[in-house]
């Protein structure tokens, strides 16, 4: 089977490698010529994806995987085309920006040949496959869906850094326009994926047909929107607990000790390509979803809320030096997509502070490229804000930051023993804040 993968990013390239490992002849398409060149040299273009480099080193020299910038080189011969191109959301309007997706769809449609399965794995608003992309493909290609080609929505459900593990762990959801398309999609993904036994699931792990693209689109939005709403609730509890001398982490642990409570952890920011974005895709077709909107706004406001609490503690920040620890949106990845670092830095600067940023995954040159002054452990600072829960930050002590007057721990990873006589403001741990502040 010949498979074309459109978009060789942090999800698309591991998917291409997975298909090639399963015996498909894979051609990856990407507009980034440098990335294409690296793939053809069997070099991973980005670090951190477990097993990716080893698989590239095996598959590319064997001729099972290659990359190109030319759709005409990949699409006409493909039995299946899988699209994993980014979909952006306008920061002001919260409306989806389909520019890249539209461009990729037009390009593949220009070269589509009869009999091809076209699978969209990029997360989409409900109804997008049927109402936007299928008509676009039909108009440009002159082919008819369910007669000449088959369209399916099959959302990626993996986390960067562990894509191959997650492909085995979670059911592969599909939703096609027609029964024939669903059967083609099932055959395709069953030929490419193997699944871990999951006795906890209501049916065997594998390819799950949800019956329509709309159901499959909603399933992906629902699972990610649930997490954003849940974190929003956890943040509400954390802010309340912090104001009332309560340790919210003990509360969450106690609540989750029975099977009907699954409260997530609070945090200074919700980042990444998924959780901050997909609720807004959902809202684009369901604007009356007030619960979703409220949670998204609350989570987006957390950096400013915690900096406001620092101002209440220290007074105005004008002239103070702040060290923000963590640029990545989460530990274990070198990725700043929708990271809370941007809002934290912006709010600190708005308050008059001089800001420097540290992250063990980024060089000083890379941090400077974002417009930030790099911070080095050992340099003095008045305020420390822990934005990412990198394990290195759990080991820091007050001796590592001379002159520090306040630590804002937005991830609950510090300990009072490492910061003696330094007030710590731990999101959601009112007991820590009360005891530390009383002794300072």
β-strand pairing of 88-89 with 96-97: antiparallel
Residues 6+ apart with CB under 8 A from 15: 5, 82, 84, 121, 156, 163, 167
Of the candidates 274, 297, 334, 405, the residue annotated as catalytic is 274
- Joined together, the tokens standing for residue 254 give 């106690």
**Which residue among the candidates 220, 250, 297, 405 is catalytic per the annotation?**
220
Are 294 and 226 in contact by the 8 Å Cβ rule? The answer is: no
Crossing angle between the packed helical segments 290-314 and 278-285, to the nearest 10 degrees: 140
Q: Tokens at residue 26, please?
A: 């894979």
Which residues contact residue 408 at a Cβ distance below 8 angstroms, ignoring those fewer than 6 apart?
268, 306, 307, 309, 310, 383, 384, 385, 386, 424, 425, 427
DSSP state letter for 398: G
| Token representation of residue 243 | 């104001």
Residues 6+ apart with CB under 8 A from 252: 234, 237, 263, 265
Identify whether 405 is a catalytic site residue: no
C-alpha to C-alpha distance for 413 and 97, rounded to whole angstroms: 36
Find tokens 């080991």 and name the residue: 395
CA dihedral 96, 100, 101, 103 (to 10 degrees): 130
Q: How far is CA 430 from CA 4, 34, 132, 169, 342, in A?
A: 53, 50, 49, 38, 26
Q: Distance between CA 181 and CA 252 in Å, rounded?
A: 44
Q: Is 274 one of the annotated active-site residues of the chain?
A: yes
C-alpha to C-alpha distance for 101 and 123, rounded to whole angstroms: 11
Where helices occur in 193-212 by DSSP H, the ranges are: none
Which residues are part of the catalytic machinery? 220, 274
């Amino acid at each position: 089977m010949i498979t074309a993968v459109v978009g060789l990013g942090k999800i698309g390239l591991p998917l291409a490698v997975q298909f090639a490992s399963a015996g498909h002849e894979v051609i990856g398409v990407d507009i980034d010529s440098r990335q294409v060149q690296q793939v053809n040299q069997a070099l991973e273009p980005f670090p951190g994806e477990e097993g990716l480099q080893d698989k590239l080193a095996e598959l590319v020299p064997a001729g099972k995987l290659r990359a190109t910038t030319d759709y005409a080189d990949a699409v006409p011969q493909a039995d299946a085309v899988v699209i994993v191109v980014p979909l952006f959301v306008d920061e002001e309007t919260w409306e989806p920006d389909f520019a890249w997706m539209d461009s990729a769809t037009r390009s593949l449609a220009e070269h589509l040949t009869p009999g091809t399965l076209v699978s969209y794995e990029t997360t989409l608003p409900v109804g997008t496959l049927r109402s936007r992309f299928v008509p676009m493909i039909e108009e440009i290609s002159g082919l008819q869906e369910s007669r000449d080609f088959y369209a399916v929505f099959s959302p990626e459900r993996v986390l960067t850094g562990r894509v191959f593990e997650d492909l085995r762990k979670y059911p592969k959801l599909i939703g096609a326009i027609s029964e024939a398309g669903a059967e083609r999609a099932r055959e395709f993904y069953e030929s490419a994926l193997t699944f871990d036994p999951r006795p906890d699931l209501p049916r065997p792990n594998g390819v799950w047909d949800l019956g329509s693209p709309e159901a499959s689109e909603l399933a992906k939005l629902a699972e990610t929107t649930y997490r954003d709403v849940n974190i929003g609730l956890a943040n509400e509890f954390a802010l309340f607990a912090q104001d009332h001398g309560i340790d919210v982490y003990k509360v969450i642990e106690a609540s989750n000790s029975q099977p009907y409570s699954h409260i997530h952890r609070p945090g200074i920011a919700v980042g990444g390509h998924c959780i901050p974005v997909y609720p807004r895709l959902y809202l684009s077709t369901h604007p009356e979803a007030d619960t979703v909107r409220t949670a998204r706004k609350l989570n987006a406001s957390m950096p400013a809320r915690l900096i406001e609490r620092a101002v209440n503690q220290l007074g105005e920040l004008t002239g103070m030096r702040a060290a923000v620890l963590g640029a990545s949106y989460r530990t274990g990845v070198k990725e700043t997509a929708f990271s809370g670092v941007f809002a934290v830095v912006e709010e600190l600067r708005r308050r008059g502070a001089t800001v420097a940023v540290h992250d063990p995954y980024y060089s000083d040159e890379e941090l400077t490229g974002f417009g930030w002054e790099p911070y080095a452990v050992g340099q003095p600072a008045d305020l420390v804000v822990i934005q990412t829960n990198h394990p290195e930050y759990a080991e820091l002590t007050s001796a590592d930051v001379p002159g520090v007057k306040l630590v804002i721990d937005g991830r609950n990873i510090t300990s009072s023993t490492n910061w003696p006589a330094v007030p710590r403001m731990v999101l959601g741990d009112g007991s820590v804040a009360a005891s530390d502040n009383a002794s300072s």
